[in-house]
Structure 1
């Protein structure tokens, strides 16, 4: 088994603390949260995250990039509002909740959201 790069180990630790990481599908979950491929996450596990990946972890998950690089300072950015994440806009729904659903259930949710977004857009416009 390959040794995990220490920066990635820290990212996984911090992502787990946010409650947004599906522990049963860590690579895929982190890839979705950061909007990168699973292959990128796999590469980061051995080589360390790219600068862009590190900044995405900070922006989208509130992970303190300085802590990831040095192990110093707070693990998460104080006052970070998970609801303001550009990549994941929901505060009461987490990606790991969706991983347990079937394709049929996901399609139903997608159809409902599409309908609701259209309804709200029409009301605004």
Structure 2
């Protein structure tokens, strides 16, 4: 059975795959018995993904990426802050279920909006079927 594709293609198979993996990891947080630890792994994956995207910016001299990078930095900072808060609450043996539910909703919404507003238009201009086509 084919897996449902959740994110918009950005015309780069590696990035599309990473977006799908991030989406699936965020969704899996809802069922995780170690959500704080798993969130830490997601943050590492998001950071690696953003670095891979930004390496493409440099390699292909993609213009107008200042706001795009700022969005990456802002999202990572938000995730790291939330991770620290959840870790402290987990240590205090608090129920995190509502916080995790909200985090999953917010994460999925951010991924959808960011992919549609930044990744797809920016990469779609320069890539087709994973190949650089210029500007």
What is the TM-score normalised by the length of structure 2? 0.27
Structure with the higher helix share, 1 or 2: 2
Larger RCO, structures 1/2 (Cα 8 Å, 6+ apart): 2
